[in-house]
Structure 1
Amino acid sequence: MKRIVTLLLVWISLTVSAQVKFEAEVSKATVSVNERFRVEFTMNVDGDNFEAPDFEESGFSVFSGPSQSIREIWNNGKGMFHKTYTFFLIAEKKGTFTIKPAAIEFNNRIYRSNPVKITVTPAVDPSNDPSTATVARNSTMYLVTEVSNSNPYVNEPITVVQKLYFSYNTDINDARDIQKPRFNDFWSQEIETDNFEPEQTVYKGKRCLSVVLKKAVLYPQKSGSLEIDPYILEVDCRVPTGRITIFGEIITMDDSRRLTSSGKTIVVKALPETNKPEKFSGAVGDFSFSVVPSKTTLKFGESLDLTLKVSGEGNLKLFQIPRLELPENWEVYDPEHVENVTTPLSGMTGSIADRYTVVPQAKGTYVLKDLRFSYFDLRSRQYRTLTSPPLTITVTDGPGLPAGGYASNARQKSDRDAFVTTPKMGPLVSAGRHDFLGSPLFFSLLLLPFMAIPLLVLVRRRKAAADADTVGKSIRMKKALVKRYLSEAGTYLQSKGPFYDALERALHNFLKAKLLLETTEMQKETIRELLLQRNAASTTVTEFIQLLESCEMARFAPSSATAIQNDYDTAIRLITELEKQLS
């Protein structure tokens, strides 16, 4: 009897198992990148503990879901049961992918659905994709990438504008970036877009509205075919349904759309090799070049500034200014790089400069060699070379050196008085004077040169060590620049622009001296980390960063005389405190 019961239970279990169906179906087996499609997991029993597959692992993202629906149908006394879990997915990349089985539990058993293969093709232009025609009738929307020049030279600026075109009967509520365009192998600068007001325009022969979402300036860094990736945007909007009320009003509905702009291919031309100057450093645009000394006559031991400046329009941040060539017996410090560059939609404009501080080590008249700066002119498509005129620097006698006039007067006096008649002397009388030879003063003077030899050796060693210590020279020079710019800032307390310019230079040179930073490393997070690593007080570091931000913001915001005086006093206090904390 027990054997019969057991066999009956097994037969019932197998019968029930054979009746359970758990299947996966998709609305499309072939979709394009960023296209939505539907996935349904349907079973004919009321299972529990549904477990969806990992869609992201399969190359898809979930747009919405899961939503659950239950349907029961009775026909001639026989019932049919369907329980469905629905997802809407978005294809992320092209290729062939498999949606793995989902799982559900029924009668303490786990059932799995069938895997489904999906083929994902490249993204298509929404205007050519009939699947983008949703329930909204006469409501069109396009995301377009506009490029100013698809065939530029290397380092020639091009502009990229992302525009959204939409019909008059569509209201845009919100927009979210899903994937920003990547500009690989380009130097890029995004231009801030403040005004999102729609403008009337014509697109594809139809009147519509457009709004600029993003703007960027690109400088290609190598020749060949470079790709700009598609821009993917999700838009929440309100669109017409194509129906009207009994009063004649258009019925609208909320909709969410994912738009993709088509990628762009930029074919970049290499700069010509013909007639390329030997010392060409990659400058492309329209520039002027100058070498300006702070003074042309100075005394021995004094310093002067030589400023090498390039001005104009072009890739100002992407090339090097020619190096200064000086006589061997001149002491020169590392240049201070100064940038005054703005980047509108047309490309970089402004100036860059290297300011050298030099100290002549001997008097005389020096003629500095002319310097040459070469660039590629986009208008004439030829290389041009600008040459600075030679500079004459005169170094005169300094403190402590004999003046030529003094030596000349002494010689004239000697010539005039060479043969003066000696007056007749009276009787000679003994002065009672001791002989110098053998006296203590004689022996002291005799030994003095030998005693001075160790001192001279020590002085020479210290001088050699100081000459070899280029880092120490640079630090000392930057400390001197801190004092100089602080002094300049103190004289500009009534003038906001020059004051904050001098104060910012003082703060930057202080950081260069203490943290050995270069101008390109002047990021606030880097400054904060290095100061805290050197055991600076956190409150002092925070105040210092705030002062740097105040200098940057003051150029664009009004400042009172009281605020300028407070910033000046704060700068002196913070530099003094950090000098003690970092020593």
Structure 2
Amino acid sequence: MKDRLIYILLTFASVIAYGQVNLSLDADKTEYAGKDIVNLTIVLELNGSDLVQQTGFQLPDLSKFNIIGSGSVTNTVIDPATNTLITQKVSRIALEPKKKGKIKIGSVLVTVNNKIYKTEPFDVNIREIIEKRSLAANNSNEVYLNMEIEDREIYQDQPTIAILKVYSRNMDNLRKVKNIRLPQQNNINVHPINFNKSEIDPSGYGNMPSQILAMFMIFPNEAGYVEVPAVSASVNSYSNKNKISSNKIKLNVKRLPEGAPDCFKNAVGNFTVSVYHAAKEKAEAKKPLNVVVKVSGEGNLPDMELPKIAASPDYEVFAPKITTKVSPGTSGMKGEILANYVVIPKKSGTISIKTEQFAFFDPESREYVDLGQKVLALDALSHDQVLEARTTVEKVNEYTNNLLETVNTPVLKTTSLKVKEKSKFHWNILLVNIAILLGLFVVYLLFRTWQKKRALVRETVPSKPLGSVAETEKEIRELMKTDINDYFGYLENLKDHSEYEKFFATLEDLDQEVRNQYFKGSVAEFKTFLEKHKGSALAEEYGMLQQKVQIEKYSPVKSQEGLEELLKTIVNLYSQISK
């Protein structure tokens, strides 16, 4: 019985060893920089002559990468020890990441002998892309601009959002970046979203403080690989002005699908078209009228070709006046564009004003939408028909107004006269005006009485002799002098209760009070004053204190020891200044 069992186990082992399938998917590393190429290796090993690969490699979703290259090789050998045929197929895929962060790479599938084999999914980490361009030789003052675009694979004329950030180890440099110039190039259209600076992030890339400077939309108007040029800005300081530039980003712009209608031009998004007669008057033959073609929706609205009014023998049309009302949206520029045409009907009767056929491509559904022509039907009247359609009152009013506008007499200028409705007298308005006049008269009497009393008091009080300018300034300073010991005690209480926001707000109030005693508005003026009257050492100590306060204020982690030391410095310095 034991011999039979051993024989069965050996038979199963030989079968398993004879027909074995190994499938693996690996990356060359797990963490990549923003511009590194991700290399994937797929290995399929078939041990046995009866194993047949029925399908090719079914790749996972790689939409978050650009495939820039691939290749495969197949090797076949016979193991001399076991006389087993071994077939090995190796495929390599080179990928360029579109986004930063952690990206999951799914399983590769293959079918061998009616059985599906798959690999295990894994994650790769793409670090943030930052190109550093030095502003100065001092590392503590370097400033970097970085342009970030999340979606780098888009259709032609479809927008993608770009974010401009600034990085610097010195937080004060972030506030000096100005004069931002967005990229300009023939194959892209750029529209700003906003230039509102965000709050400073103290824990940016590489623990450098960062700040968002601007957001803008980019519309590539040609397919292929489109490189977005760098964004430039200037860093202004007291001594000089430096120019800095951001990184460049390459977009993979896909061609629009085949099967576009003949009337499709370059509209990408979601739009509606309408045509209407702008004025309320009736259309009259051989007289101009305003016709508006309105295109509304969201997409490449400011850059697309608008549908025009088609030519017709029934009317004459002139070049339109374009009015644009757009703002940034979630998937493009949204709003409406009005094309105001002047149209002159050539004949009386019913005429149809038609627009050109219009179609657009919807990126969400990936389909073309043909809106066709829009038609405005008008009944153009002849001049006699317009006169007959008027009522008797309208005729009389028009005749009277025309007469008064065209005829002047030596005595009366009648052009200013019009047929007006008879008005009635309002007693409420008269009573309100009388009450206002009485109130003003009472206020005047009270003012005169107060002036007489003030003159009597001035006569009885002897005038105080005036002192020198220095003595007057000293008296005012004594009156404005604040007991800073109250601030010291309050700051100590806030520190003990870890109320950091109130601590720094109170410290700013203390500094403002002390500067007001010496009639100095800004920190720079007060520092100059201290250097001139209190000595350069005290002025330097004041400047160093301001830097320490900024560092502690924007530090992400605040400690009691650091605030204790800062409070001691504050008490010592302001006590010396207020002596």
Please report the TM-score for the alignment, with normalisation by the length of structure 2: 0.38
Please report the TM-score for the alignment, with normalisation by the length of structure 1: 0.37
